[in-house]
Amino acid sequence: MKDVGLLRDEYLNLLDCEHSEQVYQSLLEENSRLIPREFVQNHGLHLSLVLRKLQLGADYKSDFFYFSKSSDDWNAIHVEIEKPQSKFFRGNTNELHSDFKTALHQIKKWEAWFSRDNQHNFLSALSAVQVPIEMAQNPTHNKYVLVFGRRKEYAENQIRRSIIASYESENFKIISFDSLVEDLKNKNDLYIGSRHNEYVDLLTDEIIDPNLFVWMEPTHLRVSRTLQAKLAEDPYPNFRAPGDGLGGTGACKNAANKVQVRSD
């Protein structure tokens, strides 16, 4: 795990460079403590798993997605990242910049897609992740996060702050790229995954949270040979699949015997 101070400095220095959105996407994937934690409920970020570039039907794709649950319901959090150099306002005015208008419209298109009775099919496609299955029957609420621009564009201007805040709601938060380094020391690393029709491809080579292998069916996972070898060592023998007695196999070792393995 990279030193918090070093990660913070490297990240903030990179924000001053006008790179493409994909550069910042890759940076967050490689340093997952930087990924937003908005709308996380009391059970935490579910399975410590974030899915990258998750498809919403044929036309849309979120940059990051994760679940978070309580005892009563789920939040399904969809994250859109733009660029640090994207602008909220036009020049020295309080008129919205086209960058910001376009980003807001993207979120509205996601909301509209779900309003067209797509919720059931979307959640069905994620049934391997929304576990345990008995809790998946609880209500799921879609939430949206836009990571956009730099704080310095509005921090000292109360009118600008209020204009940006007016677009937020109980289901939608707007945060700057600067905010991603807040409270880094209390943020854990996360698994990065990619959903495919028949499995979730875990792109992380470390065992970050053994609970993922307790609750997810291992045959729904594909991992690297490196991660499979680490699972086979059963480093968390006290973590067992539900219903597995004390004499059973640990969840990690069980997963090592059942997961699909990439040839990378």
pLDDT tens digits for 27-66? 999 999 999 999 999 999 999 999 999 999 999 999 999 9
Asked whether residue 221 is domain-assigned, the answer is yes
In Å, how far from its chain's centre is CA 140? Answer: 16
**Furthest CA-CA distance within the chain:** 68
Q: How many CB atoms lie within 10 A of CB 259?
A: 23
End-to-end CA distance of the chain: 23
| Number of domains within the chain | 2
Per the domain annotation, does 134 fall within a domain? yes
- Domain match, 61 and 173 both: yes
Domain membership flag for residue 251: yes
Range of the domain at 234: 204-261
Both 81 and 181 in one domain: the answer is yes
Q: Do 210 and 138 lie in a common domain?
A: no
Q: Which of 186, 212, 247 represents a domain boundary (last residue)?
A: 186
Check whether residue 242 and residue 151 sit in a common domain: no
Taking the model in full, what pTM does it have?
0.96
Q: Is 252 left (phi over 0), alpha (psi -120 to 50) or beta?
A: alpha
Residue 242: per-residue pLDDT: 73
Tell me, yes or no, whether 112 and 210 share the same domain. no
d(CA 24, CA 1): 19
3-class DSSP state of 145: strand
Specify the pLDDT at position 241.
78
Residue 233 lies in a domain: yes
Residue 110 corresponds to which amino acid?
Answer: W
Determine, yes or no, domain membership for 197.
Answer: no
| Secondary structure (3-state) at 7 | helix
> Rounded to an integer, what distance in angstroms lies between the CA atom of residue 39 and that of residue 143?
7
Pair 149, 230 in one domain: no
- 174, β-bridge pairs: 146
Does residue 160 sit in the same domain as residue 227?
A: no
Last residue of a domain, one of 160, 186, 212: 186
Q: Are 179 and 215 contained in the same domain?
A: no
Same domain for 113 and 17? yes
Mean pLDDT, the chain cut into blocks of 10 residues (264 residues total) = 90 92 95 97 97 95 98 98 97 98 98 97 97 96 98 98 98 98 95 97 97 96 98 93 68 96 87
